[in-house]
Structure 1
């Protein structure tokens, strides 16, 4: 059974992503090729959410949570291309759009509207904050 929670790092995919970033093994280009697809798979959504949190920390939009220990958020953010940052925002939009565009949204919707909003609201806030930086 995997980890599952509404927070940006409360899933196995985000934990794996953070471990890979710490080890210098995460390549965001493995994900960015999906930006033109209409439907976002769970792993792509979870990666975009986790990377968006790193961007938010780097830009001082929130303090670094304990999960980011050992990750230089500023250096990581500076390593991203404008296209990769665009992918993050586009993927976040589709992730929280509706169950027709996002497998993760679809899974949260199975639990009911209250759970969807608990999960969706902070991502929407992060998306809006990051858009002001672009």
Structure 2
């Protein structure tokens, strides 16, 4: 697992997403088709969490962290369709739901309930914040 912390940008999947956003190479439709399966692989889950954080920053729900330097979050998020935004929230819900549908949930659960909750709680909060935007 390429994770070294519970934050939204503390893993390889997030850093790959940010690099693609900076380069203008990230295609959300392709990502949605790839990640929209019954089981969310950890790398896709990490990228979805980071993408939701970009949306939160663009809407002023979170301050812009240094990891977003060089990314115009507001412009990018403004280009998303309502269906794409809804997909991000739905995917976040799937990522934190349980180990049967999320590899990342499974990996965090292996560390015990305290670590799982440390990872899961801020994401659940983000889901609620993003749902309120709809």
**Pair 1:24-2:60 in alignment:** no
Aligned to 1:12: 12
Aligned to 2:76: 76
Aligned to 2:92: 92
Please, what TM-score do these two structures have when normalized by structure 2? 0.94
User: SS in structure 2 opposite 1:96?
Assistant: helix
Q: Is the 8 A contact 1:35 1:90 kept in 2?
A: no
Q: Equivalents in 2 of 1:94, 1:3: separation in Å?
A: 19
Q: CA RMSD in A?
A: 1.4
Q: Is the 8 A contact 2:22 2:71 kept in 1?
A: yes
Moved more, 56-65 or 27-36: 27-36
Ranges in structure 2 where 5+ consecutive residues have no aligned partner: none
Which one has a larger percent helix, Structure 1 or Structure 2? 2
Aligned residues: 134
Aligned to 1:43: 43
Runs of 4+ in 1 over 6 A off after TM superposition: none
1:35 Cα shift? 6.3
Aligned to 2:131: 131
Ranges in structure 1 where 5+ consecutive residues have no aligned partner: none
Q: Equivalents in 1 of 2:52, 2:2: separation in Å?
A: 22
